[in-house]
Amino acid sequence: MAGPLGFLGDEVAELRRRHLYRALRAHSSAQGPEVEIDGRRLVSLSSNDYLGLTHHPRLRAAAVAAVEEFGVGTGAVRTIAGTLTMHEALEAELAEFKQVPAVLTFQSGFTANTGVIPVLAGEGDLIVSDSLNHASIIDGTRLSKAARAVYPHADVGGLRAVLDEAVAGGRYRLVLVVTDGVFSMDGDIAPLPAIVEAAEAAGAAVMVDDAHGSGVLGRDGRGTVDHFGLHGRVHVQVGTLSKAIGSLGGYVAGPTALRELLTQRARPFLFSTSHPPAVVAACREALRVLVDEPDLQERLWANTRRFKAEMARLGFDIGRSETPITPVMTGDPETAMRMADLLLDDGVFAQPVVFPTVALDQARIRTIVTAAHTPEHLERAVTAFGRAGKAVGLAG
């Protein structure tokens, strides 16, 4: 492409040369443990559909009923004419589920983070962030006028050192410690009890982004804070409705005054149209399914244990995960891309994750098993991984 945008083609070519260009793999089927890509049925290990709720009959029925009664869109942002009673009902139900005073929903987990962080922390405040926090936390921090400090991943000693310095300086209105509850690329759980203790000692507030903990950890999937029994000691929780909840959206859970201020100041909330009725109805039904069908969480964890054990037996480096996210480490991006191609040829869809999502030398195939996978799916997946691993020299 010539002209002023000519550099775009050069940048794409450079990404391809460095094995960092990720092809979009279009599915011609619904999301699920098996998907159809290019006319082939494949076992999928790449969705965040932890509990199989994207295609659950109760969520589908709730969404269809909402479309019939309320149509397909809201036609306005929440603050003008885009708040339906069902939006507020979802928020009240989420608040009860999370055992917090108030919840405000956003269009996605990403916008929940970019919306809440600049409202919570501004000039004269300090944001203290784990080095592996999600991109939406990083972007939310960039949008804030607060000072920032990053501590090494999950290193509570490192966090304490930052907090000690902040307290000694005594110059901040608010010190806000922000961490993923479950780290999205590695699957490890934040050492939340120790983080909370360190924050309490320093008079700091704690915010947990529980995108990958929601529906996965804690009683009925109430998340990481519930998993550790830290209710009342974590000030702000962010959750997503786009992963285990099966639909789309994000939310901020915390004090009533925070919800109120967000409705006045959070820019994605103020300047972007609200969720369509089908999405809201599906999310509300999902919360009921979480409570009514605990076997979904049990199957998710049984599949997780089984898959991890088999992958470790094959000799793969599966990192430090404690959750259904299982990274299969390849190191360099080229091996990750090659392995994903081999898996695809062998009937398994498992996407490589490369820079900038992870560090350049930390490429991996990132897998997630779900409650919807059968033992046969898992066996097919493990067999294909064994063959691909041998071909690239990663498994015996």
Nearer to ligand PLP, 237 or 335 (CB): 237
Q: What's CA 120's distance to the chain center, in Å?
A: 21
- Is the backbone of residue 123 left (phi > 0), alpha (psi -120 to 50) or beta? beta
Nearer to ligand PLP, 240 or 303 (CB): 240
Nearer to ligand PLP, 113 or 370 (CB): 113
Q: How far is the CB of 240 from ligand PLP (least distance, A)?
A: 4
Q: Which stretch binds ligand PLP (CB under 6 A): 102-110, 258-266, 271-279, 317-325?
A: 102-110
If one asks whether residue 46 binds ligand PLP (CB under 6 A), the answer comes out as no
Catalytic annotation present for 212: yes
If one asks whether residue 366 binds ligand PLP (CB under 6 A), the answer comes out as no
If one asks whether residue 110 binds ligand PLP (CB under 6 A), the answer comes out as yes
b/e burial code for range 30-42 (CB count within 10 A of at least 16 → b): ebbbbbbeeeeeb
Q: How far is the CB of 391 from ligand PLP (least distance, A)?
A: 30
Nearer to ligand PLP, 84 or 207 (CB): 207
Residue 337 phi, psi dihedral angles, 5° rounding? -65, -40
Residues 243-262 that bind ligand PLP (CB under 6 A): 250
Q: How far is the CB of 332 from ligand PLP (least distance, A)?
A: 23
For residues 123 and 146, the answer to whether their CB atoms sit within 8 Å is yes
If one asks whether residue 134 binds ligand PLP (CB under 6 A), the answer comes out as yes
Q: Which two tokens stand for residue 239?
A: 């959750």
Distance CA 149, CA 241 (A): 29
Residues 179-238 that bind ligand PLP (CB under 6 A): 180, 184, 209, 211-212
Q: How far is the CB of 8 from ligand PLP (least distance, A)?
A: 25
Catalytic annotation present for 243: yes
For residues 275 and 246, the answer to whether their CB atoms sit within 8 Å is no
Query: Of 50, 12, 14, 17, which is closest to residue 31 (Cα–Cα)?
Result: 50
Q: What is the CA radius of gyration of the chain?
A: 21
Residues 63-92 that bind ligand PLP (CB under 6 A): none
- 3-state SS track over 196-220: HHHHHHHCCEEEEECCCCCCCCCHH
Task: State the catalytic residues.
Answer: 184, 212, 243
Residues in contact with ligand PLP by CB under 6 A are 108-110, 113, 134, 136, 180, 184, 209, 211-212, 240, 242, 250
